[in-house]
Amino acid sequence: MNQLRSTFPDDIIVLICDGAAWHKSVALKVPAGISILHIPPYTPEMNPIEQIWRELRTQGFRNEVFATLEKVVDRLCETINHLSRYTIMSITQRKWIMDIFI
């Protein structure tokens, strides 16, 4: 998170986290200027990264067997690079997320 804060020093940063234990650990150090928004348990539809993973699986990994981990990584990078800005925005710009900032 320190790297994220130093990369975007003037931006509002909100990390959306699920209920994983490491997201709630007292050992977790959250730098100034970063907020953590915990979503309710068992709500993958509220977690934008879950929607991105679903899109990646649909677009790049359907009915495919890979011979090596390198081929998996190559396909992942290729699929990410081909996601359109519109697709990413439509997945991640949920009304409830945008309402936080308006």
Residue with the two structure tokens 């100034």: 32
Q: Is the pLDDT of residue 69 over 90?
A: yes
The reported pLDDT for the residue numbered 20 is: 75
- Mean pLDDT of the region 27-53: 83
Does the CA dihedral 47-38-77-94 come out positive or negative?
positive
Give the pLDDT band of residue 52 (cuts 50, 70, 90): confident
Residue 49 CA to residue 91 CA, distance in Å, equals: 9
- Mean pLDDT of the region 67-85: 94
Q: For the stretch 13-50, what's the b/e string if a residue is b when 16 or more beta carbons lie within 10 angstroms of its beta carbon?
A: beebbbeeeeeeeeeeeeeeebeeeebeeeeeebebee
The reported pLDDT for the residue numbered 50 is: 81
